[in-house]
């Protein structure tokens, strides 16, 4: 977009300014407010940006300017939904370490074959390795699938920029899980001879582990969690509640969530998790992880170290480097078995 002076401004659209789920917010018509990242000079509250393409005009007004994100109000005049406006003006936001402009092929390649709704700032890239043919082969081996709706946040790219992890602020991500999917997990947990529970991607494993800890919050009625009609898990809640949780099984935790959903007449659990998983964390549900190879100084590589153990994580990455594995979003994949 451009300022009145002609200066160019890059607008990276992140999430709705309010608590509206992104897929719903994307169906709204003008005006809309979203949290954004802006790249440009002399941007202040009240600054107006414009863009025009194929006789469609888009205006963006900076409402609140802060160090980390900015709330921007977008207006247009043809009655289109915001998703259509983004398709008209926008580009696929490839990760910053991909040093090229996006191409039409990225609209297909940088997306999972099972994606259903829009709203993520990045693709859950562990899922890029799965094709319809792979799913057919898995089904033939009686490997069952459970789906969750992930809204990957900007923090997936955020490096650890503090000397101590205690001072690092973890990003929140919205998750959505249907009631019948939670019941399916319980059914798996109750099998005496159950096989591995494999999460595809770090966002998925954060989601499943967050479910366990939210159930613990409900059982303990932590900060009146039972009375609140929404899901929320703070960055350090798992560690704060770990002593209490030592006697709470995953089945008990997930059943507490189902009871809470019944009380509040909820069929889909929607909320935000800020859980950070670092070495020392005890995994409660997931026993295997499919994930790409991550960059240093990231929360994702800490999660991998927590899952397989720090020494083994270093051995895995040493081997990957020695054998020229491809790292990051369009890179190679790995199947990791938990150390627990």
Domains of the chain: 10-90 (no CATH), 125-337 (3.40.1780.10)
**What is the tens place of the pLDDT at every residue in 153-175?**
666 667 788 888 889 888 788 88
Q: Are 17 and 34 in contact (CB under 8 A)?
A: yes
In b/e form, how buried is each residue of 249-287, taking b as 16+ CB within 10 angstroms? ebebbbbbbbebbeeeebeebebbbbbbbeeebebbbbe
Grouping H, G, I as helix, E, B as strand and the rest as coil, residue 288 is strand
**What is the tens place of the pLDDT at every residue in 82-110?**
999 998 998 887 777 778 888 888 877 87
Alpha-carbon gap, residue 146 to 202, rounded angstroms: 15
Q: Are 111 and 95 in contact (CB under 8 A)?
A: no
Alpha-carbon gap, residue 155 to 143, rounded angstroms: 31
What local confidence, expressed as pLDDT, does residue 198 receive? 94
pTM above 0.85, yes or no: no
Rg of the chain over Cα atoms, rounded to whole angstroms, equals: 21
**What is the tens place of the pLDDT at every residue in 53-81?**
988 999 999 999 987 779 999 999 988 99
Residues facing 210 on adjacent strands:
none
Q: Are 283 and 340 in contact (CB under 8 A)?
A: yes
């Amino acid at each position: 977009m451009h300022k009145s002076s002609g200066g160019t401004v890059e607008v990276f659209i992140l999430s709705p300014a309010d608590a509206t789920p992104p897929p719903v917010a994307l169906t709204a018509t003008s005006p809309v407010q979203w949290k954004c990242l802006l790249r440009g000079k002399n941007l202040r509250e009240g600054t107006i940006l414009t863009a025009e393409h194929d006789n469609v005009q888009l205006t963006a007004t900076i409402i609140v300017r802060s160090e980390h994100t900015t709330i921007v109000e977008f207006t247009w005049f043809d009655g289109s939904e915001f998703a259509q406006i983004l398709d008209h003006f926008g580009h696929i936001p490839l990760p910053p370490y991909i040093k090229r402009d996006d191409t039409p092929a990225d609209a297909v390649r940088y997306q999972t074959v099972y994606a259903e709704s829009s709203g993520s700032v990045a693709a859950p890239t562990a899922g890029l390795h799965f094709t319809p043919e792979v799913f057919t082969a898995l089904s033939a081996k009686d490997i069952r699938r459970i789906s969750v709706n992930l809204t990957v946040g900007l923090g997936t790219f955020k490096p650890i920029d503090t000397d101590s992890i205690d001072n690092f602020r973890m990003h929140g991500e919205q998750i959505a899980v249907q009631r019948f999917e939670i019941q399916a997990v319980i059914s798996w947990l109750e099998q005496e001879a159950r096989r591995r529970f494999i999460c595809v991607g770090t966002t998925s494993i954060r989601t499943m582990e967050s479910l366990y800890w939210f159930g613990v919050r409900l059982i303990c009625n932590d900060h009146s969690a039972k009375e609140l009609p929404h899901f929320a898990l703070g960055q350090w809640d798992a560690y704060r509640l770990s002593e209490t949780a030592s006697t709470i099984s995953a089945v008990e935790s997930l059943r507490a969530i189902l009871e809470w959903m019944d009380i509040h007449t909820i069929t889909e659990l929607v909320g935000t998790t800020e859980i950070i998983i670092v070495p020392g964390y005890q995994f409660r549900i997931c026993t295997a992880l499919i994930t790409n190879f991550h960059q240093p100084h990231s929360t994702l590589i800490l999660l991998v170290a927590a899952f397989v153990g720090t020494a083994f994580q270093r051995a895995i990455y040493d081997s990957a480097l020695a054998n020229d594995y491809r790292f990051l979003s369009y890179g190679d994949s790995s199947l990791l078995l938990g150390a627990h």
